[in-house]
Amino acid sequence: MAINWFPGHMHKARKEIKKVMPQMDLIIEVVDARLPFSSENPLVPALRGDTPVIKVLNKRDLADPAITEQWLGWLEKERGVRAITMTHNQRAEALDILRLAGEMTPDHDRQKRALRVMILGIPNVGKSTLINTMAGRPAAKTGNEPAVTRAQQAIKLPDNVLLYDTPGFLWPKLSPEACGYRLAISGAIRSAVIEFEDVALFEADYLLDAYPELAMARYGFEERPRDGLALMDGIAEKRRFLGRGGVPDLHKVSEILLNEFRSGKLGRISLETPAMVEQEAREEAERQREKSDKA
C-alpha cells in the first residue's frame, strides 16, 4: 500500500514557506529521532539554499541510542547542518538550540536586527511543544493528532530571536514506500487515511527482524514467531483479542502494536538506520531507471 497524505493546507504551507525562506537567517528542522530520514522533509534542502540548518532529533528517549549516534554523524555530512538530540519538555536543551543558533550565525548583529529563525517539521513530530519550551510559555498550539498548526506565526524568543512557526507538512509522494509506513507507524499521518492492519504488519515484520527480543519479551513469546503475521496472531491469542469462531481481531492487535511503539512501551526502537535508507535509495533509483527504460 502506497501511503500519501497531502491536505490542501499543507500545499498552501509549502508555498508560503518557499516565499519567506530567503528572508531567514537560520532554519530549525525538527525530526523524529526514531526515523530521522523518513521524517526529514526532502523539500527543505531545495528551499533553504545556503541558510544554515539545525536538525533537532526529537523524542530521543524513545529511540535506540546507538542508532541515534549514527544518525547524528550522517546528518552532519550535509553542508551547513548541525544535528542535536532532544527529549520532551527539556528547557535547558531547548535553550541550547538558541545558543547553537548564535554559533552558526556569527556575523549577525542582533543589536541591529532580530535573528530570524524558521522552525519546520512534519506533523506530530513535537515542533509546537519545542517552541513552547523555548519560549517558556504556551506560544504554539499542541495536540496528539498531526497537523495542529495551520498557519504561520512569528514568536519572540530570548536574545532578540524572532521565530517563525510554520504548519507541519508532508510531501505529495512518500518515497521510498517504506518511508510512508514508518511515518504512519510514528503517528505523523492521520489514522483515518491508513490501513491499520497493513501498517501494523509492516511494524511487526520489522520488529522481528531488528528487535525480536523486545517484541518477544513484551508480548510473552518464548520462541521467535516465524513472521509478522504470526506475531500478530500470537498477540491476539495471548490477549484474547478473538472474534466469533476464535478468529484473531487483527485490528485490535494493530492498535496495540502502533500505540505501544508510539508510547515507548515496546522499548527504545529506531525504525531506520543510515545504511538501511542508503540501500533503499539505491533500490528506488534502480526501480526508477527500469521504469524509465520501459517507457
Beta bridge partners of 255: none
Please tell me if the domain spanning 8-165 has the same topology as the one spanning 195-283. no
Residue 126 labelled as part of a binding site: yes
The pTM for the full model equals: 0.89
| CATH architecture of the domain with residue range 8-165 | 3-Layer(aba) Sandwich (3.40)
CB atoms under 10 Å from CB of 80, counted, come to 15
The span from the CA of 18 to the CA of 134, in Å, is 24
pLDDT of residue 17: 78
> SS3 for 229?
helix
Residue 198 labelled as part of a binding site: no
pLDDT of residue 172: 56
Q: What percent of the chain has pLDDT over 70?
A: 89
Residue 60 labelled as part of a binding site: yes
Residue 129 labelled as part of a binding site: yes
Residue 25 labelled as part of a binding site: no
The span from the CA of 121 to the CA of 210, in Å, is 27
Residue-wise pLDDT for 44-79, tens only, equals 787 788 899 999 999 999 999 999 999 999 999 999
Nearby residues of 141 by Cβ (< 8 Å), 6 or more positions away: 128, 148, 149
Residue spans of the domains in the chain: they are 8-165, 195-283
pLDDT of residue 2: 57
Strands annotated E in 50-198: 53-58, 81-85, 115-121, 153-157, 161-165
What does the pLDDT average to over 5-31?
78
Residue 58 labelled as part of a binding site: yes
The CATH code belonging to domain 195-283 is: 1.10.1580.10
Residue 80 labelled as part of a binding site: no
Residue 168 labelled as part of a binding site: yes
- Residue 150 reports pLDDT greater than 50: no
Residue 59 labelled as part of a binding site: yes
